[in-house]
Amino acid sequence: MSKKIVAFGASSSKKSINKQLATYAANQIAGTTATVLDLNDYEMPIYSIDKENESGIPDLAHQFKAQLKAADGIIISFAEHNGAYSAAFKNIFDWISRIDKDTWESKPMLLLATSPGGRGGKTVLDIAVNKFKFMNQSTIASFSLPSFQQNFSAEKGITDTALQAAFKEQLVIFEAAI
């Protein structure tokens, strides 16, 4: 039976390089079915306890959470906005964390980040890895791709040999866990 992967770029950009990287990663795993989510399809009011008490948790949060629950593994590629999560991701994260305590459904995760710059979203990736390891006891592999335009091609994927090897190493860890 085919394993199911849910992948998404943690950005609301319509041309998200992080969505491209997450999609690429999901498609590298043989014998799986990948569902690539677009955060724009899950736009909700900004989370607050007052909104939750007045209106409950939005259906879109439940739909997003159902995608995670149905998956065998989760791939997220983080956009770095001012050194942290994008507002679009943080809002979805806040809403789904209210549905139940196991936000990530104890699923193996491959956490990625990329950016046009030389650090490749490393700051936000470190935030995510450090936060999620306390929220998810399953395997968490991670990889940062610096200088996206120089090191990634839509046709070839990761073009730098050393970066491709480092990516594959983390992919193998994730693959073994699903």
Tell me the pLDDT of the chain (178 aa) as tens digits: 789 999 999 999 999 999 999 999 999 999 999 999 999 999 999 999 999 999 999 999 999 999 999 999 999 999 999 999 999 999 999 999 999 999 999 999 999 999 999 999 999 999 999 999 999 989 999 999 999 999 999 999 999 999 999 999 999 999 999 9
Q: Give the separation between CA 115 and CA 79, rounded to whole angstroms.
A: 7
Element (H, E) at 176: helix 161-177
Residue 148's domain is classified under what CATH number?
3.40.50.360
pTM of the model: 0.97
Domain of 110 in residue numbering reads as: 3-177
Q: Give the separation between CA 121 and CA 124, rounded to whole angstroms.
A: 6
Q: Give the separation between CA 9 and CA 71, rounded to whole angstroms.
A: 16
Q: Give the separation between CA 88 and CA 16, rounded to whole angstroms.
A: 12
Number of domains in the chain: 1
